[in-house]
Amino acid sequence: MKTTITRARALALAASGAAVATGFPAIVRAQTSTIRIAASSAATQAEGYFADQLGYFKQAGISATITTTGRGAETLEAVVRGDIDIASATPEGIANAIIHNIPLKIIAIGTIFVEPAPVILAVAKDSTIKSASDLANTTLGVNSLNDSQTLGVWQWMTNSKVDPTSVKIVEIPFASISAALQRKEIASGCLVEPFASAAKADTRAVPGVYNTLGRHWALGVWYAHADFIAKNPALVKQVVSALYATAKHVNANPSSVEQLLVTYTKLPIETIRTIVQPVLAEKAERSCIEPQLQSAAKFKVISRPVSYEEVMLA
């Protein structure tokens, strides 16, 4: 049965790194080898584009349409409507949707946090912030509220016995965070690649923040609506196989996607060659998902604990 969701509800629920999507063509779900994928322009969400451009979708008999988007609320709405088949988000975003009776499932794990990591807590070069206590009574900018961008900072502050509620959190697109830091509108901001490297001239990274969630966890996941999965089980398996095949290739040959990242992120090759290239999951692992789910429940980003089995497609 198709679930309906209002725009207001989607905006309230979205805690994902997926995307603001506009202009999606409305078509009926059906058995097909064509899929519509939505993800942001961050390098951490480029895997679907890689799979398409490197030919892994084609090898699996899949024709893919890739829509580059910004943040998660309207993409969630588009997935529920059936206008997008597969999108990128965070585990806690999917858990939150499930709690609110929106039947989504993670079909594959995307980029994983390993060090050196493609995500940092950035501050201006002249900032005095060095420790968690320095964040108290300041403002933090994140691309999406209530996901791992925030959870990592809260966990870092908690580990340092600093009240995590003492930092104000505002939503700012990745592309605007560096400028906001320079204007002193925020004291710190979460940046992922390639935005972190693009901002190196004006910012510095505060060390030891996001590894507080663990040394191996999912920065992003690929998800679909239960209706789409039920109606297209073979296609979903093909998509998952193509994504993990892409991951193995990219992890072994990171330079092979440099030019693709230039096209995808619209940044010069000189910048792309300086980024910490994301590591992609090559299979589903419980250890990649559970840290965020536990942290999200701890900090009440989700209203109850959610298990790996609830969010992950078996």
Residues 58 and 107 in one domain: yes
Query: CA 269, 270, 273, 278 torsion: positive or negative?
Result: negative
Residues 85 and 221 in one domain: yes
* Domain end point (choices 143, 178, 213): 213
Q: Which pTM does this prediction carry?
A: 0.87
Residues 23 and 105 in one domain: yes
Residues 143 and 269 in one domain: no
Query: CA 55, 60, 64, 68 torsion: positive or negative?
Result: negative
Residue 18 in contact with residue 87, Cβ under 8 Å? yes
Residue 114 in contact with residue 285, Cβ under 8 Å? no
- Domain hosting residue 67, numbered range: 7-114+217-311
**For the chain, how many structural domains are there in total?**
2
Q: Dihedrals φ, ψ of 198, to 5°?
A: -65, -25
Residues 209 and 221 in one domain: no
Q: Residue 136's closest CA among 111, 161, 104?
A: 161
> What does each of the 314 residues of the chain score in pLDDT, given as a tens digit?
444 444 445 444 544 433 333 333 333 333 448 999 998 889 999 999 999 999 999 999 999 999 987 667 778 889 999 999 999 999 999 999 999 999 999 999 999 999 999 999 999 999 999 999 999 999 999 998 889 999 999 999 999 999 999 999 999 999 999 999 999 999 999 999 999 999 999 999 999 999 999 999 999 999 999 999 999 999 999 999 999 999 999 999 999 999 999 999 999 999 999 999 999 999 999 999 998 999 999 999 999 999 999 999 99
Q: For residue 2, is it within any domain? A: no
Specify the CATH number for the domain of residue 286.
3.40.190.10
Residues 42 and 61 in one domain: yes
Residues 101 and 227 in one domain: yes
